[in-house]
Structure 1
């Protein structure tokens, strides 16, 4: 999921009375035509905003996905998912031009009436809860390591700041909750842009550190991430695998779907684009997805070629045993933690909006409902982050369900229901294939993940 899904555009306007004034200064889609404002977001600014929406915690799990599928298998799957993501955006933009609708939820209502709007709202809610829990999971694992990296090696023993769960609870109640409970949080929309540069820095560090950790791994001992058992590393384990098929491969496509989901942000970005046309916005999407694909591929490839089969499902953890006090690893850990800390409250806003919309409809703003919804969502996310044992479980379950729906299934179904094109047309056939692929891969991946859980328990 993307890190800033549907955040920078209409995240907090629902609670203010400034909608009319803001709509006068933005691009609007009305009756299938585009009314342009005098000055909108530039092409490259829109590309940056879309990449901001795409790139998130999924980047930490892609090296594990490569280890589970092999280099060639991973490249094929990543290219397939990114291409289908671009094509589903093409369908959404066509519907946007055809109907004048600029909201994913409203497209669901147009296609399937109230059930469609509810389905989209529930999917966005679950997707954002999954994204928030993945970020808090990173905080739980990385915060103790970040604190220890700044302390002297003589500090040993079980001290309170080494307990990731305790630190997570403190950070959630002291930082995340106060920021999330605000009715307006516009200033974090600017700081969240730093997250994209943090991801670029993370990629650079992964590439550089490929030559700092030799293979076989140091001390001839490594930790297998799935069962925390030790095994001897040998030269044979330093040979990259081109194709791998196992039960762990079921996590690959859901993780990729989780990593490329930006569709709830596409239509608002389209409205903000200077001289908005479908072709211009499609070019924005193609460039944004292509650059994200490149960053994802480089970080996954060099992460895998550093640790091979021993790569952790959360890549930063793989560096802890071998470079616990390396300056670059320390700084990239702080960068990731900072981006996570500032992004969780932002992702919370559309989740709370979906909850209030589903339960209360269009009722006026109420502080009581606002606070109760905030506490419930933060509580659920905190519980998930504390008790989920592995971040790949978040990527797998959320990616195979809501990410697949928002990325593949919903755009295809909405196009088939709303568009007047015949079923034999190119886009109609493409929409059918998009739905079939999303359902097939989602069901297969989710089934294998559940079977793996049952067998391991």
Structure 2
């Protein structure tokens, strides 16, 4: 009798568990594929969820349908507890709040900070501040869309959001955009190392001319830096381990900022005439003025007061600064990997990390641009440090600043490499167990490929500029918006709801920026100029 009663109890429990009415209703777009579900549960907690009969309550808003997702996973994968599978994203988030801020800030910060003073000279202080503020707010909103889309389906991989929204084409589009954007960024960083390190060594050794020694050869030096510094950092298993390197990188840029502010009060205006082998930049002719305008002649009266700041400027180059500034806060490929590794993650916590990172870089960008501009005014070059070299090429402080900037740029490369490796894993090795051999091989192949590009095909940077003008608007504006529109269930937010209309307008803005960037780059190529550039 007792056995029969127990048997009936178990049978009734089994029937109750299998009833469809026991599970909350869920939009069909939110139901992941069986293979996806094992891999994409945040922080690799799927096995723990499958071995328990009750679902623990998660603090905050880690993702909006967590309870439903776990319950459905138990239905899809009833035997998931029998065999534990470990994937390359299968680990507990251990990165602290502060380290995450360092990593994301380092991802945002690029060599473009050196050109913002030139951008201010072509927009004026007020217009520059307006544009920078608008771009910072738009970037924060874009990250909000990414995190909200991620929260709906419990996915923290950019490529998988694309898969959930548009299937395989969406996944491939996101992965290709991330790969091309970040390879372009890494190529530009290593090209800076190749071109600048020999000059720094030459100045340290107080040499008048560049020698033929190996340590003055940029090709050897970029390989040396890649092997001894970048590769070991790129082999870290988790992005969070790079927090200390990111913190040091940011410290180098803070040193750059402090030096720019200090130089504003040290260098007189108008600039004094230089003698000896230092270029006489104050022989204020049309030619010298055009040098400060990056090769574009701007007629200027030598007697005119050049030490008056402009608050609002519109000239032929103003339009070129808009797309450059639009991409000043590119960090979106790194947002979801950092979110994945965050300790006790929640959407609110990650948004706070993003806002702090954007605010820190916003202040650094504005102060560097302002004091760089107020030092040289209309004479500032498109690369700020080159302008200081015109005044005194053997200035010890500026030499140290160059070393600091090179260090910061070098330490940014491993941060940018992580999303590329993850995109390649998503495209080629999805569902595979983590493998150190594969992890190392992808990093070595990527760095080798980028070094070969920088050494043998430096002109390829122009091609990457064109690619970046296409991929950056997609990653910042278009993809987050259209993924959000597709992933957000229509019963929660109809297609004509305010959030989705705003997202559609945001995607349209990205298309506008893409067209502007491509147009200016093509015009540059057609005219043989070099006006446009990228923030990274």
Q: Which TM-score tier does this pair reach, normalised by the shorter chain? A: 0.7 to 0.9
Are residues 434 and 263 of structure 1, via their aligned partners in 2, closer, same or farther at CA, if it must alter by over 3 Å? same
**Which one of the candidate residues 490, 507, 527 is aligned to 1:455?**
527
SS of structure 2 residue aligned to 1:61: helix
The question of 1:184 aligning with 2:257 is answered no
Q: What's the counterpart of residue 170 of structure 1?
A: 220
Q: How does 1:340-379 map to 2 (within 5 A)?
A: 340-355=409-424, 358=427, 372-379=445-452
Q: What's the counterpart of residue 327 of structure 1?
A: 396
Q: CA deviation at 1:210?
A: 0.9
- CA distance, structure 2, for counterparts of residue 143 and residue 124 of structure 1: 28
Q: CA deviation at 1:74?
A: 1.3
Greater alpha carbon shift after TM alignment, 215-224 vs 123-132: 215-224
Q: What's the counterpart of residue 119 of structure 2?
A: 65
Q: CA deviation at 1:313?
A: 1.9
8 Å CA contact retained: 2:63, 2:154: yes
The question of 1:226 aligning with 2:298 is answered no
8 Å CA contact retained: 1:257, 1:407: no
Measured against aligned partners, the alpha-carbon deviations of 1:139-174 in whole angstroms (never above 9, x if no partner) come to 24432332233233xx4344236x99x732112222
SS of structure 2 residue aligned to 1:325: coil
Q: What's the counterpart of residue 505 of structure 2?
A: 433
Q: How does 1:84-163 map to 2 (within 5 A)?
A: 84-152=138-206, 155-160=207-212
- CA distance, structure 2, for counterparts of residue 334 and residue 394 of structure 1: 28
SS of structure 2 residue aligned to 1:260: coil
8 Å CA contact retained: 2:198, 2:218: no
**Which one of the candidate residues 267, 284, 293 is aligned to 1:213?**
267
- CA distance, structure 2, for counterparts of residue 285 and residue 293 of structure 1: 12
- CA distance, structure 2, for counterparts of residue 373 and residue 189 of structure 1: 22
Are residues 29 and 58 of structure 1, via their aligned partners in 2, closer, same or farther at CA, if it must alter by over 3 Å? same
Q: CA deviation at 1:250?
A: 3.8
Q: CA deviation at 1:357?
A: 5.0
Measured against aligned partners, the alpha-carbon deviations of 1:294-326 in whole angstroms (never above 9, x if no partner) come to 111000111111122222222211111113222
Q: What's the counterpart of residue 82 of structure 1?
A: 136
Measured against aligned partners, the alpha-carbon deviations of 1:52-77 in whole angstroms (never above 9, x if no partner) come to 22222221121122122222221111
Are residues 355 and 20 of structure 1, via their aligned partners in 2, closer, same or farther at CA, if it must alter by over 3 Å? closer
Q: Which runs of 5+ in 1 are unaligned?
A: 1-18
- CA distance, structure 2, for counterparts of residue 372 and residue 41 of structure 1: 27
8 Å CA contact retained: 1:86, 1:289: yes
- CA distance, structure 2, for counterparts of residue 94 and residue 268 of structure 1: 15
RMSD (Å) for aligned C-alpha atoms = 3.6
The structure whose RCO (Cα within 8 Å, separation 6+) is larger is: 1
TM-score by length of 2: 0.70
Are residues 53 and 247 of structure 1, via their aligned partners in 2, closer, same or farther at CA, if it must alter by over 3 Å? same
Measured against aligned partners, the alpha-carbon deviations of 1:246-304 in whole angstroms (never above 9, x if no partner) come to 44334323332433111222223334444433233322222221221111100011111
Are residues 93 and 213 of structure 1, via their aligned partners in 2, closer, same or farther at CA, if it must alter by over 3 Å? same
Q: What's the counterpart of residue 9 of structure 1?
A: none
**Which one of the candidate residues 358, 367, 371 is aligned to 1:289?**
358
Greater alpha carbon shift after TM alignment, 425-434 vs 174-183: 174-183
Are residues 383 and 261 of structure 1, via their aligned partners in 2, closer, same or farther at CA, if it must alter by over 3 Å? farther
8 Å CA contact retained: 2:92, 2:341: no
Q: What's the counterpart of residue 255 of structure 2?
A: 201
Are residues 339 and 43 of structure 1, via their aligned partners in 2, closer, same or farther at CA, if it must alter by over 3 Å? closer
Q: How does 1:48-59 map to 2 (within 5 A)?
A: 48-59=102-113
Are residues 148 and 225 of structure 1, via their aligned partners in 2, closer, same or farther at CA, if it must alter by over 3 Å? farther
- CA distance, structure 2, for counterparts of residue 394 and residue 309 of structure 1: 30
Are residues 93 and 302 of structure 1, via their aligned partners in 2, closer, same or farther at CA, if it must alter by over 3 Å? same
8 Å CA contact retained: 1:250, 1:445: no
Rg comparison, structure with higher value: 2
Are residues 372 and 279 of structure 1, via their aligned partners in 2, closer, same or farther at CA, if it must alter by over 3 Å? closer
- CA distance, structure 2, for counterparts of residue 23 and residue 291 of structure 1: 38
TM-score by length of 1: 0.81
**Which one of the candidate residues 17, 24, 33 is aligned to 2:66?**
33
8 Å CA contact retained: 1:128, 1:351: yes
How many residues are paired up?
Answer: 429
The question of 1:387 aligning with 2:472 is answered no
